[in-house]
Amino acid sequence: MIDKKKDKSKTQTKLKRKRKTYISENAKAYILSTFNNTIINITDNEGNTLTWSSAGTSGFKGTKKGTPFAAQMTASAVGKKALDMGIKQIVVFVNGPGPGRETAIRGLQGVGLTIISIKDVTPLPHNGCRPPKLRRV
């Protein structure tokens, strides 16, 4: 009979990082809204990431990640984390043409964060690259 002993050296202890309360009450929220996903990143005024989330990390898969409901749930999850850090006011920068633009802003506001300003930073070409030639069928 083989004696199976538990090796105590192989047991792992997970260390849980404690989120520190942030000193400043102001932060910046960057919303990247594409047709397939919505990513929300909250940074301090220097640009260091405090918390982030996407529709995929919120539990949505496939084409459901691109829906406005997924963007709202993602924004509320990030907003709760930001409130736990002590952030009260945010400046919102929206990037991309996706369907979750407005609902993500409403989700941040619904959690209790005060939105100071909203700015659209979607890059638009000023007659940039030449379009491909027309397709003849």
Q: What is the pLDDT of residues 99-136, one digit of tens each?
A: 999 999 999 999 999 999 999 999 998 999 998 999 99
8 A C-beta contact, residue 67 and residue 36: no
pTM of the full structure: 0.79
Query: Is 10 within the bounds of a domain?
Result: no
> Does the structure show a pLDDT above 80 at 6?
no
Find the domain containing 99 and state its range.
26-120
Residue-wise pLDDT tens digits, 34-79: 999 999 999 999 999 999 999 999 999 999 999 999 999 999 999 9
**What's the CATH code of the domain at 52?**
3.30.420.80
23 contact partners, CB below 8 Å, separation of at least 6: 86
Q: Is residue 96, in this structure, part of any structural domain at all?
A: yes
In a domain, 50, yes or no: yes
- Number of structural domains the chain divides into: 1
Closest residue by Cα to residue 85 from 40, 25, 31:
25
